[in-house]
Amino acid sequence: MEKGKTPFRWIGTIAVLISILFAASGICGETKKPALALDPRADMVTIDKMAAFGALERPAVVFLHDRHTEAVKKMGKDCTACHLSENKRLVPIYKRVKDTDKQTTMDIYHNNCIACHKDNAVDGRRGPQECAECHLETAKTVSIRQPAGMDKFLHYRHAKSQEKGQKCATCHHAYDDKAKKLFYDEGKEGSCRYCHEAKTVENRVAMRQASHLACIDCHRKTIEQKKDAGPIQCAGCHDPKAQAGLDRGMQLPRMKRNQPDNVFVKAIAAQADAKNVKLGMNAVAFSHKNHEGYNNSCRVCHHASLSACSDCHTVDGKKEGNFVNLGQSMHQIQNEASCVGCHTQKQSAPECAGCHTAAISKSSLKEASCLSCHTKGAPTDAAAIMTKASQTMAAEILKARSAVVGTYAVADIPEEVIIKAMSKTYEPVKFPHRKVVQKLIANIADNQLARSFHRDKGTLCMGCHHNSPAAKNPPRCGSCHGKPFEAKNMSKPGLMGAYHQQCLGCHDAMGIVKPNNRDCTGCHIEKKQW
């Protein structure tokens, strides 16, 4: 320590201590105020229409729609108090049909909102009338709004409410370019989202606007007829509790759209193009009926229109399918819209994730996985799968597939495996092998995906014995993983690392809390030192 520096060091230390004491006592400044609890609302509407005319001069207004709807109802008024009509339908925006210019739009809000608040003050309670009361710097509410999708349960309820369930034209329409009007195209009904996108495009209004125009208008008119109808307030559709309260456990009749029960995935769209096309692998038999039951909407697979995949995703790819060819559309592992991508995502469920952990490569499963879909005996000629008779053939192939529910006989599964890899420091680990296997089997007993794709009794074993063929007596872990890791193959850990990666990774993926403590002694009994 050099002379002359000690006093300065003490001064610095004392200053730090004083600042800490002051901060603790609140002398050095205001103590941190606790964060205000925000009011969770599903009816928050952000009024930022001025942004269309340039940068906002003040913060956007947070408008609570349901609160205003209730207030208007108490005054004996309805939605027409705030919304004008056009073509016999309410316009979603406030007191106008469209935005014209900045000043006019701003005046509509200021003149009408403030006037209403002044005229309808009750018992000293009034709506905001000053700029800062609406244009808040800090929001007092938080949105819990959830999108309200039309799944098959809601679709059934709406179809059933119509006369004999046949008035599809109430919601479904197409646009006639020549006649410049909407019409009902029977047999070609599709999701509203196929035409109405996130933003307004030419004469097609955005999905949000289209749904509010049609749905709320229909609900209002139904209520006027003294009949039961859907909600007209935001929370009725968008509140998570309201959505959870809907009965989705009912048995539904199948939606009829001329879809086949079973079919081969087609490589091309037109029969005329199939004459000289040979498939690279056996055709894939697909149960359309079963997949309808697994999903709550046709849009899970048919994300563009209710037509064959090959209409947009051709062998070579085309503009209508964003140049994603048929093979890519079925096999892209990172895309949930593809077959492989969807199935891979399902593997992240807790009951499956322990075996299907991304940390472990299972290269030996690749060929077996292909054959799970590209079944032997299926045609390789494109023309053969374009005929009506091919649907019967696809059904027979799917019926012939045998589901694998379990694994080998109990007597063939070792009850206990002794792991001695760290026995110098700890006692050998007694791994309850049979109990673990039986638990894994129980977890997937009702999993249709596992029943279809576990093609061998030893498939389940390959979750741990991941780089060896399915077998009753797979090789030990030490056959591949040496005690030290291989410097030339960094993806292959040493034996101790492999155990920890596999066991702890499985516990984490499957949400298993045991061992209760995550230190070594949770699994290993420490040897006594004499």
User: What confidence score (pLDDT) does residue 26 get?
Assistant: 44
Superfamily classification of domain 152-244: Cytochrome C3 (3.90.10.10)
Taking residues 205-230, report their average pLDDT: 90
User: What confidence score (pLDDT) does residue 359 get?
Assistant: 61
**How sure is the predictor about 272, in pLDDT bands with cuts at 50, 70 and 90?**
low
DSSP annotation of 47 reads E
User: What confidence score (pLDDT) does residue 160 get?
Assistant: 85
Please give the single-letter amino acid code of residue 345.
Answer: Q
Distances (CA, A) of 2 to 7, 11, 15, 331: 11, 16, 21, 71
Q: Which residue has the tokens 């009912």?
A: 250
Question: 262-400: same fold as 152-244?
Answer: yes
CATH class of residue range 410-522: alpha beta
Q: What pTM value is reported for the model? A: 0.75
Is 2's pLDDT higher than 60? no
User: What confidence score (pLDDT) does residue 14 get?
Assistant: 47
User: What confidence score (pLDDT) does residue 117 get?
Assistant: 92
Structure tokens at 347: 């593997």
User: What confidence score (pLDDT) does residue 162 get?
Assistant: 79
Q: Which residue has the tokens 């701003």?
A: 106
CATH class of residue range 39-143: alpha beta
- Choose between 242 and 16: higher pLDDT: 242
Taking residues 154-167, report their average pLDDT: 79
Is 477's pLDDT higher than 70? yes
List the single range of 58-67, 225-234, 463-472 with lowest mean pLDDT.
Answer: 463-472
Residue 51, Cβ neighbours under 10 Å: how many? 10
The 3-state DSSP composition of the chain as helix, strand, coil percent (nearest 5) reads 40, 10, 50
Structure tokens at 76: 């004996």
Per the CB < 8 A criterion, the answer to whether 183 and 174 are in contact is yes
Is 236's pLDDT higher than 90? yes
- Choose between 16 and 327: higher pLDDT: 327
**How sure is the predictor about 62, in pLDDT bands with cuts at 50, 70 and 90?**
very high
pLDDT, tens digit (0-9, with 9 covering 90-100), for 74-93: 899 999 999 999 888 888 89
- Choose between 21 and 42: higher pLDDT: 42
User: What confidence score (pLDDT) does residue 12 get?
Assistant: 46
Domain map (residue ranges) of the chain: 39-143, 152-244, 262-400, 410-522
User: What confidence score (pLDDT) does residue 426 get?
Assistant: 87
Q: What percent of the chain has pLDDT over 70?
A: 88
Structure tokens at 179: 């006649």
Range 262-400 classified under CATH 3.90.1150.10:
no
pLDDT, tens digit (0-9, with 9 covering 90-100), for 502-519: 888 888 888 888 776 667
Q: Write down the mean pLDDT value for the chain.
A: 84
Is 135's pLDDT higher than 90? yes
Is 283's pLDDT higher than 70? yes
Q: Which residue has the tokens 């749904």?
A: 211
pLDDT, tens digit (0-9, with 9 covering 90-100), for 168-205: 888 999 999 899 899 999 888 889 988 999 888 888 88
Non-local CB neighbours of 469 within 8 Å, separated by 6+ positions: 364, 458
Q: Where are the alpha helices (DSSP H) in 347-421?
A: 350-353, 366-373, 389-400
- Choose between 261 and 163: higher pLDDT: 261
53-62 contacts: CB < 8 A, separation 24 or more?
Answer: 53/101, 53/102, 53/105, 54/102, 58/131, 58/135, 59/135, 59/136, 59/137, 60/135, 61/109, 61/134, 61/135, 61/136, 62/136, 62/139, 62/140, 62/141
Please give the single-letter amino acid code of residue 448.
Answer: Q
Helices (H) and strands (E) in the chain, counts: 19, 12
Residue 263, Cβ neighbours under 10 Å: how many? 21
Rg (C-alpha) for the chain, rounded Å, is: 33
SS (H, E, C) 406-437: CCCCHHHCCCCEEECCCCCCECCEEECHHHHH
